[in-house]
Chains A and B, each alone.
Chain A
């Protein structure tokens, strides 16, 4: 995410490194680079101009502390301003009201329908509320079918609106249904429309009138270029949106649209869409995002994700086993599963400080991911006894497992080799400092 910008700012701070104090010349040199970097990252021209002016003012405005080097100073100022621009701190969405209505709006293809389903799942799992999905995109063919299917996959009740063609009527019916059945949050998916389409923008205003939404979220594609300011501004003027969802952040888009939208709308980015899976929705953390831009890694996000998937008691049991050197293939399978739950390996790795530099660009991690999956299926095809006592695995057992899991004997051998190495490593760890072991396990 924003990697290119990160690289560029890295270069700027490198040129500043080692300078004793900050002169106007230094600052302007750095600012030129920052300006170009932000423009290349697709931040809107007007936003870049404002941003650079703010950084310059602060850098030259007597804020230079004698105790730090200029490089750190500029980094700090850019970081602070980026955090500021991205919205300060994380915003918690409020879902008060009976029901609390969340309206999703935006241009065609920005990802409203997918976001609706992801958000419903998120609200149910993280907030313990009962959401109701309302498909009200009556213009794109089969858009309502799409949300019905997604709702089923996410196990979220979804109103079947296929026989209705008036979004306003759908709104009224959904409100009735929510109040009768006691749903707490109503997620209303609207049709994508251009911000210059007066007729359809009028319709959104009328829907707002009926629904009285607690939240109107503008769904924006992270790959958007300079147009982001125009569409966001127009939507905001019409609807007074309360927040932004930034989608498709799992690609390599530099994501400057985040800064643009945030600046013109003045409302927080509340969610980031990362991937097509229904759990690919994260709360947006401005401070972490800014840290990420500056190459500081995103440890906090990683820890949070890990906490969601690693079962505390299982982890303790595992620690116990490790200490006694009884780590078997059952445990390895648990480990592989929790790793998988954390999402695509790629996005996990990106959050580890320093990892983004070590990772080769593109494919490799998907290969690794596939490998892990295959290992998992090998273990799945073993009997519980074999998992507990891997030494039982002889040639004929291996052939059976290979057949059952659609892998090969070589692959099973590779798995066992790696398992052996892991055991050896863990034995050493187990003998060593128990604290180091805990750290290794993320406890």
Chain B
């Protein structure tokens, strides 16, 4: 189990950082004094990893300061310094999970179109079922054509019941039904799949508020976790997404999907830095097992480690 886990993480993260490494590797492996262009290259590599201009420039400036203060003298010391900073950034963002003993536990999954919400809901359900919980899925994406069918196919694969209505139905009503079903059948968790929506669409964001409101009315403290699904290929717009969904739905954590491609997903660093939002899960493939808990050390190490 532990073996496959590591393999998967590595497979997932490997492509994420190969190019980053090509660029930074040279810088990090060099022995001898730090030259200004080493840090320039580091800055550029961070930008190229989608960490965002502001964060990359700030980080590079901090490193420059340390070099001036002679706390960093050789190029070899650059990597541990960057590593420490990135880890700090990620751990500062993680203020711990909200705990709740309430049953059923309600998890709301939100995001813009095409990030992989439905797949993530299925994978999450699979993990929870493996861990011995009973789960019901709420097909609250009533907008996209055949979204309900998609979730139903997944539900069958993972062996979880789905509560759904017809296309165009009120998502809040679906959520209400799902919670009622969970209560009457004594089910542990409700996972809610919502329609993709651009965070700039005020009326769709309002709809999300309503869904949340229904959950809160029906179960104490619900939703107990709100996960924002973010595509690893997303650039700086990920920050706006996190901000808007955070303001409307009260996002607790991020699921970073599609990390099995060449995208670096560096935008989560900016999100952690700006909004103090932690990453909870990473998606590394289309299989039902391809959702892994986010591990900051592994993420940063894989990003910076040449031998991974």
Measuring CB to CB, which residues of chain A are less than 8 angstroms from any residue of chain B?
A: 36, 39-42, 44-45, 107-111, 139-143, 145-150, 153, 194-196, 221, 223-228, 230-231, 248, 250-254, 256-257, 276, 362-363, 366-367, 370
Residues of A within 8 A of B201 (CB): 366
Q: Evaluate whether A194 and B112 lie within 8 angstroms (CB atoms) in the complex, with A36-B53, A252-B200 already known.
A: no
Residues of B within 8 A of A250 (CB): 198, 200
Residues 183-198 of B, flagged 1 when their CB comes within 8 A of A and 0 if not, give 0000000000000001
Residues 139-152 of B, flagged 1 when their CB comes within 8 A of A and 0 if not, give 00001111101101
Residues of A within 8 A of B47 (CB): 39, 45, 226
Alpha-carbon distance A125/B143, docked complex (angstroms):
25
Contact B263 A227 (CB under 8 A): yes
Check if B153 is an interface residue, CB within 8 A of chain A.
Answer: yes
Q: Please tell me which one of the listed residues B48, B114, B261 contacts residue A231 in the complex, with CB atoms under 8 A apart.
A: B261
Contact A107 B261 (CB under 8 A): yes
Residues 11-51 of B, flagged 1 when their CB comes within 8 A of A and 0 if not, give 00001000100000000000000000000000010011110
- Surface stretch bound by A, among B91-99, B101-109, B228-236: B228-236
Residues of A within 8 A of B52 (CB): 40
Residues of B within 8 A of A150 (CB): 145
Check if B302 is an interface residue, CB within 8 A of chain A.
Answer: no
28 A-B residue contacts at CB 8 Å?
A: A39-B53, A40-B52, A40-B236, A45-B44, A108-B114, A141-B149, A141-B154, A142-B149, A143-B150, A146-B146, A146-B147, A150-B145, A194-B261, A196-B261, A223-B234, A224-B233, A224-B234, A224-B235, A225-B234, A226-B48, A230-B262, A231-B261, A248-B114, A248-B198, A250-B198, A252-B237, A254-B236, A366-B201
Chain A residue nearest in CB terms to B143: A276
User: How far in angstroms is the closest Cβ of chain A from B242?
Assistant: 13
Alpha-carbon distance A279/B11, docked complex (angstroms):
40
Contact A226 B235 (CB under 8 A): yes
Check if B134 is an interface residue, CB within 8 A of chain A.
Answer: no
User: Using a Cβ–Cβ cut-off of 8 Å, how many residues does chain B contribute to the interface with A?
Assistant: 49
Contact A225 B144 (CB under 8 A): no
Check if B290 is an interface residue, CB within 8 A of chain A.
Answer: no
User: How far in angstroms is the closest Cβ of chain B from A235?
Assistant: 12
Residues of B within 8 A of A256 (CB): 235
Q: Evaluate whether A225 and B236 lie within 8 angstroms (CB atoms) in the complex, with A107-B261, A141-B154 already known.
A: yes
Contact B200 A251 (CB under 8 A): yes
Residues 76-89 of B, flagged 1 when their CB comes within 8 A of A and 0 if not, give 00000000000000
Alpha-carbon distance A248/B199, docked complex (angstroms):
11
Q: Evaluate whether A251 and B234 lie within 8 angstroms (CB atoms) in the complex, with A109-B114, A145-B146, A225-B263 already known.
A: no
Contact A139 B114 (CB under 8 A): no
Residues of A within 8 A of B258 (CB): 107-109, 194
Which of B106-136 touch A at CB < 8 Å? Answer: 112-116
Alpha-carbon distance A145/B146, docked complex (angstroms):
6
Contact A251 B199 (CB under 8 A): yes
Residues of A within 8 A of B152 (CB): 142
Alpha-carbon distance A383/B213, docked complex (angstroms):
40
Contact B116 A145 (CB under 8 A): no
Which of B159-210 touch A at CB < 8 Å? Answer: 167, 198-203
Q: A226-B47, A256-B235 are in contact. List 8 more A-B contacts (CB 8 A).
A: A40-B52, A146-B146, A148-B146, A223-B238, A225-B235, A225-B236, A225-B238, A225-B263
By Cβ-Cβ distance, the 8 closest A-B pairs, closest first, are A225-B235, A109-B114, A42-B235, A141-B153, A142-B149, A149-B145, A363-B202, A146-B146
Residues of B within 8 A of A108 (CB): 114, 116, 258, 286
Check if B303 is an interface residue, CB within 8 A of chain A.
Answer: no
User: How far in angstroms is the closest Cβ of chain A from B265?
Assistant: 9
Check if B301 is an interface residue, CB within 8 A of chain A.
Answer: no
Q: Please tell me which one of the listed residues A194, A231, A362, A367 contacts residue B200 in the complex, with CB atoms under 8 A apart.
A: A362
Alpha-carbon distance A366/B198, docked complex (angstroms):
14
Residues of A within 8 A of B199 (CB): 251-252
Contact A251 B114 (CB under 8 A): no
Q: Please tell me which one of the listed residues A111, A147, A196, A225 contacts residue B15 in the complex, with CB atoms under 8 A apart.
A: A196
Residues of B within 8 A of A231 (CB): 233, 261-262
Residues of B within 8 A of A196 (CB): 15, 261-262
Chain B residue nearest in CB terms to A346: B200
Residues of B within 8 A of A142 (CB): 146-147, 149-150, 152-153
Chain B residue nearest in CB terms to A362: B202
User: How far in angstroms is the closest Cβ of chain A from B114?
Assistant: 3
Check if B225 is an interface residue, CB within 8 A of chain A.
Answer: no
Alpha-carbon distance A42/B108, docked complex (angstroms):
29
Q: Which of B203, B231, B260, B267 has the most CB of A within 10 A?
A: B231
Alpha-carbon distance A257/B238, docked complex (angstroms):
14
Q: Evaluate whether A194 and B264 lie within 8 angstroms (CB atoms) in the complex, with A223-B237, A370-B203 already known.
A: no
User: How far in angstroms is the closest Cβ of chain B from A438?
Assistant: 35
User: How far in angstroms is the closest Cβ of chain A from B135?
Assistant: 18
User: How far in angstroms is the closest Cβ of chain B from A204?
Assistant: 16
